[in-house]
Amino acid sequence: MADSEELTILQKAFQKHIQLFKKSASRELKWKAGTINLTIRHLKQCFTWLLEQKLIPDNPAKEIKYIPENRLQPKWITEQQERKLFAELRLLLGNPKNMEKSFGNMQ
């Protein structure tokens, strides 16, 4: 078997192992996508370094894809929640003059 053929087999094996890692980390370990992606990123960086040092002929992690992440969007309070918040503050702090004493001039 030629070296390039062996490398292709090793790359495919590595990629299968990474796919298994992604599934088991998500399902069994309950890791979030960001944690799995960070681990994959570190692996890719290690293989890139090995390639740059000429310790390996090719980067088997190059084709590994990241898991899509659900990024949380900022949430804003509704007008009703805002009114309730200010009502609670008024009850807690009393009249506006007391607010100035408590917080000072916040401008």
Instruction: For the chain, 107 residues long, give each residue's pLDDT as a single digit of tens.
Output: 555 666 678 778 888 898 899 889 988 889 999 999 999 999 999 999 999 999 888 888 888 899 998 877 778 889 999 999 989 888 888 766 655 666 665 55
**Considering 52, 68, 84, which residue would you say is the last residue of a domain?**
52
- Under 8 Å CB-to-CB from 41, ≥6 apart: which residues? 66
Kindly state whether residue 25 falls inside one of the protein's structural domains.
Answer: yes
Whole-model pTM: value is 0.57
Q: Which of 66, 76, 80, 62 is nearest to 36 (CA)?
A: 66
Question: Which two structure tokens, joined as six digits, stand for 66?
Answer: 């990241």
Residue range of the domain that includes 96: 76-107
Q: For the chain, what is the domain count?
A: 2
Kindly state whether residue 45 falls inside one of the protein's structural domains.
Answer: yes
Kindly state whether residue 9 falls inside one of the protein's structural domains.
Answer: yes
Distance in angstroms (rounded) separating the CA atoms of residues 25 and 19: 10
Kindly state whether residue 68 falls inside one of the protein's structural domains.
Answer: no
